[in-house]
Structure 1
């Protein structure tokens, strides 16, 4: 069956796959072939970097960085997940020294907040809190960015259903209804399924959940809606 490629199949894809199999014994699944095809379409040296040890998504991040002329050395650890490789790529794009972020044992949420702090010009090696739990990282980030005590002008309750169909409610504070609508649409589109991921995405869009008990189960109905203003 003919391979399907998202970017239009490179005429060299078959030859490159055959060469990698002949010279290195490499074979690839459909997603990995798609990443290799992307690299070829963007004139990347896929023979050097294509490796079945990487998932297709991880390889895609490497090839995206290479297509932009970026140094990918910190992205090459096969133990990194694709999500972590993406965070490293974003950091490299921003001109950050991502060596400190390249530990595959570093939780993805910690990595996201550390990259965010570095993008703000914060030296994360100067504060022990940035080596601690995600709660400590966020608290220190807020302190350094003067966000911790910023009061919001409006408050509403968001109703959220987790993937396992448990309906919950979350109280959030925000400034602009359009900002709230944008955040809701973005979260719904991304199908975020974990409480902390939803809370982080809201915070990233300047919407905060001030209560310690973030989600309160109520019933099982819809996925996400605004209950009141």
Structure 2
């Protein structure tokens, strides 16, 4: 007898409307004001938002409907309840290009794209994109490879690009390139001195305000701190 994998319940308009209504009820003007200062367009506390997603459980079709609403909070819920492996490469590319706000961008990359079989193809597609937000995603995926799977990467070539481009790169591309620089310095001792030297010359994020007990994003400081923890 052939057994079939259970399918998630079908999403309909009522499901989407109910979720949107629930998120609207959770919207806090104070949270929204804080989020909007950081470029995000929702006012739902993330703990409450995660609780909504946990109750809904994995439901890829509902996730697609919620994403299609364009609502920032609904898209965050969608990314939590989706099945990353069911998205096609072109679908993920379109989602990235229409991501509204840094939190949606970050969750899309870290909760969905990094779990996708299309991750490497998308890294290469996005890396040199003229849109800085899209290119930053390519660098974010490159940072992961630098740390976890560097075979085949031209690490000296990446340092060349960082040295040439990072100083004048716009946010969030500059931040993503800086993360790649730091990870090269942390995980690749043969290139550590060069990575630190690039960071010291460019001085990107040197004066970035850092909370107590947090590591500065300034690459030379970041590299030194993380290497010291390696014992």
* TM-score, with structure 1 as normaliser: 0.30
**Which of the two has greater helix per residue?**
2
* TM-score, with structure 2 as normaliser: 0.30
Bigger radius of gyration = 1
